[in-house]
Amino acid sequence: MGIFKSSKKAAGHIVDVRVDKWVSWDYLSESADNFKVILLDSIIPKKATYSETFEEALERLELTEADIAKRQKEFTQLFYFFLVLSLVIISYGLYLAFTGSMITALIAFCLSIYSLAQSFRFHFWLFQLKNRKLGCTIKEWMNAAVTTKHEKNLAVKKNKSEKMSKTGHTKANE
């Protein structure tokens, strides 16, 4: 047993047997922590420091209705440009995939995803301009309808229910 201990001790001086030093454990853990922070920052949306209405933003930025119309036209053109570009890239990626150039096809599909993301961005901005509301949600965009404040909805519902009850009573009395 003494021979193995002494040979292990001698080998330890020649070859470093601490695996954490081999793989640079400190650097790997720090890199993983940095990756986690970056990932969470990109996924979790940041809360707005203050909220402003569309009209307040127009006043603050000194924009006119002509400027808004111009921006709507630009966003529409950019939306269609990126949408067509992504379709062209997807078609080219499919061609590359069928001809056997898989890595190039993968790159083409990645570029098409980027182009589709740009297309979504400009369409979302266009949606906000058309509805004259800042801070629309993805759900509103998908439903193509902007929700209004709850107080207004309740008032409308009360008025409708009052009208229905009045018309219902008159029909029942007839």
pLDDT single digits (tens) 47-73: 777 788 888 888 888 888 888 899 999
- Contact predicate 118/79, CB 8 Å: no
Q: What's this model's pTM, rounded to 2 decimal places?
A: 0.57
- Round the average pLDDT of the chain to a whole number and report it: 79
* Whole-number Å distance between alpha carbons of 136 and 53: 11
* Whole-number Å distance between alpha carbons of 126 and 73: 9
* Whole-number Å distance between alpha carbons of 170 and 112: 61
SS3 call for 28: helix
- In Å, the largest CA–CA distance within the chain is 112
> What does the pLDDT look like over 115-141, one tens digit per residue?
999 999 999 989 888 888 887 777 888
Any idea which residue has 């107080």 for tokens? 151
- Indicate the pLDDT class of residue 91, thresholds 50, 70 and 90: very high
